[in-house]
């Protein structure tokens, strides 16, 4: 082992029912073997099934208080964006590596800028082919969960229409409408079709619609995204899933309140894009796992921003698989060298030296955009 040169801190997540942890014990092993020190807040991995002893066996240092983890670490690894209770831990030059979703979090952005924290967001690290490698596994989880959740809340006891997603012989299945044919939408379609639902995906790219038609062998309907098609499909939907993402930007509002008013009483909306502001106009608040839904115009709205936190074991393992190589690069090289060598990682830098350094985030927040190269 080389001399320890970088301290990585893993605090316990404090968002409502967020049971994921940013680093598995195996991930800690990789960082420690590379010569770095890993601090883990006591109990951080418990929700994902990893005990303090699991981390200690791998050489991680257990720390009792979150404040100490933040104070002693060169880089903080988290799952979800810091909450107001954590803002006091920020300090100048600190490196924060997590999902930030700043387009819908102006207050957090202000605190990061005021403290000159370097915020590297999982969700805006982007490969040359346009893919988002650190968002993909959670999008897969959330897409699949959206159908499970929708089927659950369609039950009468939970305020739904009282219908079975796949129907039964002699009774038609539910209509599932998915806004967006990306990773979330594709995985939602897999689950919905598997349960026997009638599925339509609304997508703006003709090429993507052709690909979806090939993937699913014509078993789902594809519709070009425009106000007329969206309105027509929404009116027929038993379950409407919002699956639209523009990297770093606020989600576009595609479904108006007037469209929601045309939906059947007891229909269900699950908006996976709520952490980027939501793509349905009546998604006007973020809900939690402990109180996940509300009703507007007779329609059940599910707007939990950390859906994968409900399946933390799967989510934590999938997340560490993709974040660890980037964390190792940041720890081995430091920020400047790492982002110089890896342009995909450079796109992850949202805040640096008190400025917004991602154009889509700056536009969403109405703040000036400053190129990273101008801050070197």
Set 101, 111, 301, 358: catalytic member: 101
Closest CA to 319 of 2, 21, 1, 92: 21
- Which residue matches tokens 């991602």? 358
- d(C-alpha 366, C-alpha 142), whole Å: 29
Set 74, 238, 271, 275: catalytic member: 275
Rounded to an integer, what is the distance from CA 88 to the centroid of its chain?
24
Q: Which residues of 22-44 are buried (b: 16+ CB within 10 A; e: fewer)?
A: bbbbebbbbbbebebbbbbbeeb
* 101 tagged catalytic: yes
* 111 tagged catalytic: no
Longest dimension (CA), the chain: 69
Closest CA to 221 of 176, 263, 254: 176
HSE-up (13 A, CA, CB side) for residue 376:
10
CB atoms under 10 Å from CB of 360, counted, come to: 19
Active site residues: 101, 275
């Amino acid at each position: 082992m080389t001399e320890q040169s970088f301290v990585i801190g893993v605090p316990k997540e404090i968002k409502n029912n967020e049971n994921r942890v940013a680093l598995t014990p195996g991930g800690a092993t990789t960082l420690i073997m590379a010569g770095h020190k890993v601090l883990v807040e006591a109990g951080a991995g418990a929700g994902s099934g990893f005990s303090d002893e699991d981390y200690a066996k791998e050489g991680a240092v257990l720390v009792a208080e979150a404040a100490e983890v933040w104070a002693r670490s060169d880089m903080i690894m988290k799952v979800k964006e810091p909450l107001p209770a954590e803002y006091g831990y920020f300090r100048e030059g600190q490196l924060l590596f997590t999902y930030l979703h700043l387009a819908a979090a102006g207050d957090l952005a202000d605190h990061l800028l005021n403290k000159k924290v370097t915020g590297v967001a999982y969700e805006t690290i982007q490969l040359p082919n346009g893919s988002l490698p650190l968002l993909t596994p959670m999008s897969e989880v959330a897409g699949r969960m959206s159908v499970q959740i929708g089927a659950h809340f369609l039950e009468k006891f939970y305020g739904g229409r009282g219908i079975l997603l796949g129907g039964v012989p002699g009774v038609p299945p539910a209509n599932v409408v998915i806004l967006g044919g990306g990773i979330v939408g594709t995985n939602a379609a897999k689950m919905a079709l598997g349960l026997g639902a009638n599925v339509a995906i609304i997508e703006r790219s003709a090429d993507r619609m052709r690909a979806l038609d090939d993937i699913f062998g014509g078993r789902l309907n594809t519709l070009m995204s425009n106000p007329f098609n969206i309105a027509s499909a929404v009116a027929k939907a038993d379950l409407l899933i919002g699956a639209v993402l523009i990297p770093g930007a606020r989600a576009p509002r595609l479904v108006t309140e007037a469209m929601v008013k045309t939906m059947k009483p007891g229909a269900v909306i699950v908006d996976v894009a709520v952490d980027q502001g939501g793509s349905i106009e009546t998604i006007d608040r973020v809900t939690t796992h402990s109180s996940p839904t509300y009703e507007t115009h007779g329609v059940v709205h599910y707007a939990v921003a950390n859906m994968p936190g409900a399946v933390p074991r799967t989510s934590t393992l999938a997340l560490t698989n993709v974040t660890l190589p980037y964390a190792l690069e940041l720890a081995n090289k430091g920020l400047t060298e790492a982002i110089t060598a890896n342009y995909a990682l450079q796109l992850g830098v949202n805040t640096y030296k008190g400025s917004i350094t991602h154009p889509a985030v700056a536009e969403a927040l109405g703040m000036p955009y400053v190129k990273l190269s101008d801050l070197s």
